[in-house]
Amino acid sequence: MNFVKHPHVIAATGYPLHGDAIRAYLSGFYEVETVGHNLWQDGLAEIDRQVQLAKPAAVIVDDTFPYEPQIVARRIKSKLPACGLIYVDANPNIFRVLHCLEEGFVAYLFLGDQLGESLKLVVDMARRGERFLSPHVLGLYERYTLYRGLFTGLPNALLTILKLMGEGLSVQQMVVRTGLRPEVIYRRQYRLRQHFGVENNEALLEVIQGMFDDKAAALAKP
């Protein structure tokens, strides 16, 4: 009996049901290996092993995987540069979208966009290095391009902090992400407050996130 050998895809998820759903959507087209939900194994170590063994055509990461997508992207790209990276998010944030695209993800999907029927097409595109944003994420990106003029006058140092605040990171998380000292981050936040004419970080965050108010994601929450 002849068996058709399908290309491999890794599904990196925090919950077994998520990996099972991806396997079901890609059944008959791709061989899916799930990682990330075994309490006795580190998710990144599982990815390393599968990348070494299976040489996957694509890796799908969702927001339940217990590592930041950017860490996963750097890990995979260092070992398999041609691998297509796809991120699935239940609550997209434009600054997280931008960061993921910068780190090498070629597709970013909103879970509420009903992706089951199109996931095979997205994987096909990711293997070719073609960018795909699901409808809601594309809307976020288009709004960002409209408002981008507000940021073009900012020095890169301030723009970096603005994006990290937009992702919802605390100062301590920014320290870990950037390697900057807390006092440097505080100074840059002060300059951002001056730029936008607000008195505190709470108001600054409202300004930043208000530009990209994610009403569709809020409506999709149970």
Q: Kindly list the domain boundaries of the chain, sorted by start residue.
A: 8-137, 151-217
Q: Which pLDDT tens digit goes with each residue over 4-32?
A: 689 999 999 999 899 999 999 999 999 99
pLDDT per residue as tens digits for the range 116-134: 778 999 999 999 999 999 9
Tokens 């068996």 — which residue? 3
Q: Could you tell me which CATH class the domain 151-217 is placed in?
A: mainly alpha
CA–CA separation, 173 and 199 (whole Å): 22
| Max CA distance (Å), the chain | 72
In the predicted model, is pLDDT for residue 214 greater than 60? no
Phi, psi of 133 (to 5 degrees): -120, 125
CATH 1.10.150.130 fits 8-137, yes or no: no
What are φ and ψ of residue 153, in 5° steps? -85, -5
User: Angle formed by the axes of helices 69-79 and 43-54, to 10°?
Assistant: 30
Q: What is the pLDDT of residues 56-101, one digit of tens each?
A: 999 999 999 999 999 999 999 999 999 999 999 999 888 899 999 9
